[in-house]
Amino acid sequence: MNFCSNCGQPMTHRTPPGDDRSRFYCESCGVVHYQNPKLVVGCIPETEDQILLCRRAIEPGYGKWTLPAGYLENGESVAAGAKRETLEEARARVEILAPYALYNICHADQIYLMFRARLKGNSFQAGRESLEVKLFSENDIPWGEIAFRVIEATLLQYFDDRRAGRYSFFMGSIPKP
Ligand SMILES: [Zn+2]
């Protein structure tokens, strides 16, 4: 950030008066431009014993498989965001069942919140950001081709829980590579 979006003057990055860390701070008008982690919301769409995965048509992770997920929009609830991302990426409608996993990704300033969801109507197809959308049984999950560590962690947790016959909310962290 080079210029203040409030007054247009050049920005500094230093500790504002009374604060305890360095921020984008405008010395002309005194506005502090806070930067905070972004929330990514998504879901595990289930139907009977299969789940829906999307193969990414965009970087990062082009050509690899992921669960439908993306940045929450302003004014949107987390469940609505997860449903919207599923509709955009997999052209699929889901019923949100329960919040399932929260991952802190502190080095990337992201938090992932993943829901369990039920696929409605078994209709799906590749959305704009997907090359392909497909149902997978546990035995067919392309483990070597999962786009993100957080998605791999979510899937591992999910299948562990499914084998144990109970799902409980999980909170974890993805360490810096
Ligand atoms: Zn300013």
| Residue 1 pLDDT class (50, 70, 90 cuts) | confident
With a cut of 90, say whether residue 118 has pLDDT above it.
Answer: yes
> Could you tell me the distance, in angstroms and rounded to a whole number, from the CA of residue 72 to the centre of ligand 1?
27
Read off the pLDDT of residues 72-110 as tens digits, 9 standing for 90 and up.
999 999 999 999 999 999 999 999 999 999 999 999 999
> Could you tell me the distance, in angstroms and rounded to a whole number, from the CA of residue 37 to the centre of ligand 1?
22
- In the chain, what are the domains? 1-35 (2.20.70.10), 38-173 (3.90.79.10)
> Could you tell me the distance, in angstroms and rounded to a whole number, from the CA of residue 5 to the centre of ligand 1?
7
> Could you tell me the distance, in angstroms and rounded to a whole number, from the CA of residue 12 to the centre of ligand 1?
10
> Could you tell me the distance, in angstroms and rounded to a whole number, from the CA of residue 66 to the centre of ligand 1?
41
Q: How far apart are CA 45 and CA 117, in angstroms?
A: 5
Computed over every residue of the chain, the mean pLDDT equals 96
> Could you tell me the distance, in angstroms and rounded to a whole number, from the CA of residue 24 to the centre of ligand 1?
10
Which residues lie below 8 Å from residue 173, measured CB to CB, with a gap of 6+?
A: 103, 104, 105, 106
Given this model, what pLDDT does residue 128 score?
92
| Residue 50 pLDDT class (50, 70, 90 cuts) | very high
> Could you tell me the distance, in angstroms and rounded to a whole number, from the CA of residue 35 to the centre of ligand 1?
16
Q: How far apart are CA 52 and CA 36, in angstroms?
A: 31
